[in-house]
Amino acid sequence: MTKNFSGKNNVEKLICEKVEWIDNKDTGRQDLKVIENSKFEIDADLVLLAMGFVHPLQEGLLNDLDVELDERGNVKTDNNLMTNIDSVFSCGDMERGQSLVVHAIASGRSCAKKIDMFLQGKSKLPDVRGYFRNKL
């Protein structure tokens, strides 16, 4: 599980810890448990976050990066799905708000193409036809 990022003005490493699922007898569900002394680092120059949730948590990464939010508390983006921070993109529930998984998938595919265009200046990824960005 990624716990933090490190780097000077750009991400250079992911700071991670190993985790395991344990059975919770009280709830009948499984809980995530961090394995002690399992910290490790991964070199990185690009990070894509994929998270399932009800709405963006503003505490932490969004506040740390000073990412602008819209009137509903979702991450505000331009037509290229880029936030107010150069090279930081957002899509899916973070950008649109809670919605159907098919919208999140289409948004992710659209964002992948926008990132490819941003990095390469062109993209061979297919257009995502029918994806609409109207916020609910």
Question: What tens-digit pLDDT sequence spans the chain (136 residues)?
Answer: 888 889 988 889 999 999 999 998 998 888 889 999 999 999 998 887 766 565 666 777 888 889 999 988 889 999 999 999 999 999 988 888 887 778 888 888 999 999 999 999 999 988 776 555 554 4
| Total residue count of the chain as it appears in this document | 136
Specify the domain boundaries for CATH 3.50.50.60 within the chain: 58-120
CATH fold for domain 58-120: FAD/NAD(P)-binding domain (3.50.50)
3 near 16, Cβ under 8 Å? Answer: yes
Answer yes or no: pTM beyond 0.75.
no
